[in-house]
Amino acid sequence: MAQPRSCARALAAFTSLCVAAVASPAVAQPGAGDPGATDASQPAPPAPPTPAPTPVPEPPPPPAADPAALIATYEAALRALTAGDAAAAAAGFDDVAAHSVDPARAGAARELGRLAHDWQARGARLVVGEAAERAAHDDEDFRTGGRVSFIASTTLWSLYGGVVIGDLANLDSAQAWTGTLFVATGAGLLGATYATRDRTVTAAMAEGYRFGLYVGAGNALLLGSPLGLYDGDRSSEKVNGSVFLTGTALGIAGMVYGKEAHPTTGQLAFAENMSLLGLASTWLGVAIAQPDNLDGDTALTLTAAGLDISTTAGLVIGRQLDWSNGRARMTGLGALLGGLGGLATGVLIGGTDSGRGTAATTLIGMWGGFGLTVHLTRGMRPDRGHALPKTAVMPAVMQTPSGQSALGAGISGVW
């Protein structure tokens, strides 16, 4: 019985020991099975990277300043541009554009320099203030100043048209003739007035129209006999009809020439002088030569050829001239006075029976008077038509304040 009791005490002691071991805290060793355990033999995970500091942009450097002398050059160039001195303005702006360290001023000078160079190449000029209003008025007068002259020429030509109508209709009463002339002239006046209303009729167009009427009528009259228009019945109707139709056709051609070729009135007046000189020179030349085998029709044909050749020469040479209309008229009067002086000289020297001598002195005096008047009028101003188409009319010129961000000039007006 003692042995079982000893076993029971040993078992109780072992049980107490197990209970004590379970109840007391134990220091656990890290193991592979513990998910929260850290194995000292494995490397630690890398630390997250530290963000780099954001760079702070440096403030832009202050804009470079141009020297005072260069700014003064820029301002002087602006004044030269508005004053109409394109050459000085172009030189000043080129200097500023090449040496300015301010991008805004350099860019403005570059563009304004282009404008100045363009004006210099075109020969343009700037007009401001009251002068601009006068220039605009002059330009308007230049574009429409020929309207009255065209109406007057058409009215007179319509009067001759009434004569042609009366001749073709064989009118035999004063009442019929009077009524026909009145209706034809009134129709020409009203038709020309309303046809040119609100239309451009330059002085050159009107002068070309009148010049064409004269040349056409002259050729028809001179060539009427050589062409046989005076032969047979109704010769007057054929001659008057040819004169009216030829004059009208060349009048329209002259007006188109004045519109498309843009001649000045002085150039056309010079051509008119040359045509008259050529016509008179042919007559006088025939009178001086007096060939035995020259009949009347041949003389008229030669005279018409002289008219046409001198007219063509006047138009070609006149394109190279800058004569004003006044200078051309003065030279025409000089030729007329010289011709009369030559005629008087011939009559005084040789009497009325010296036909050849008088014709020779008249021819010499006519061309001598023309040449002398050309020399004496060389100081007259050119035709204003050479300047007006190149004039930039600007009632206002606006310049922005000079600064770092706003340079240059704004221009508004009528071009």
Give me the DSSP letters along 64-107. Answer: PPPPHHHHHHHHHHHHHHHHT-HHHHHHHHHHHHHH---HHHHH
Residue 164 has pLDDT above 70, yes or no: yes
User: pLDDT (tens digit, 9 = 90+) per residue, 76-93?
Assistant: 998 888 887 888 999 999
Residues 173, 291: one domain? yes
The answer on pLDDT for 409 being more than 50 is no
DSSP 295: -
Please check whether residues 193 and 151 belong to one and the same domain: yes
Q: What is the mean pLDDT of residues 291-313?
A: 90
Q: Token digits for 156?
A: 């007179």
Which pLDDT does position 412 carry in this prediction?
42
Indicate whether 208 belongs to any domain.
yes
User: 354 with 280, same domain?
Assistant: no
The answer to whether the CB of 225 falls within 8 A of the CB of 234 is: no
Whether the predicted pLDDT of 7 surpasses 80: no
Q: How far apart are CA 307 and CA 304, in angstroms?
A: 5
Spatial CA neighbour of 186 closest among 228, 146, 156: 156
Domains contained in the chain, number: 3
Parent domain of 333: 325-380
**Please, which pLDDT band fits residue 146 given cuts at 50, 70 and 90?**
confident
Is there a domain that residue 205 lies in?
Answer: yes
> Are residues 317 and 340 part of one domain?
no
User: According to the model, what pLDDT value does residue 15 have?
Assistant: 56
Residues 111-128: what's their mean pLDDT?
Answer: 80
Residue 71 and residue 153 in one domain = no
Q: Does residue 77 lie within any of the structural domains? A: yes
Task: For residues 232 and 250, state if they share a domain.
Answer: yes
Report pLDDT for 375. 94
Q: What pLDDT, on the 0 to 100 scale, is given for residue 175?
A: 92
Residue 31 lies in a domain: no
pLDDT at 199: 85
Q: How far is it, in rounded angstroms, from Cα 147 to Cα 101? A: 56
Let me know whether 199 and 283 are in one domain: yes
Are 208 and 258 contained in the same domain? yes
Q: Are residues 73 and 192 in the same domain?
A: no
Within 10 A of 32 (CB to CB), how many other CB atoms are there? 7
User: Does some domain include residue 92?
Assistant: yes
Position 179 in a domain: yes
In this structure, the answer to whether residues 119 and 97 fall within a common structural domain is yes
Q: Could you tell me which residue, 182 or 142, shows the higher pLDDT?
A: 182
What share of the chain has pLDDT > 70, as a percent?
Answer: 73
Identify the pLDDT of residue 13: 57
Mean pLDDT of the chain: 80
> pLDDT, tens digit, for every residue of 235-287?
889 999 999 999 999 999 999 999 998 898 899 999 999 999 999 999 999 88
Q: Which of 123, 148, 171 is the last residue of a domain?
A: 123
Taking alpha carbons only, the member of 256, 153, 270, 141 closest to residue 208 is 256
My answer on whether 302 and 219 are in the same domain is yes
Whether residue 157 is found in the same domain as residue 212? yes
- What gap in Å lies between CA 268 and CA 291, rounded to an integer? 34
Name the band, by pLDDT with cuts 50, 70 and 90, for residue 301: very high
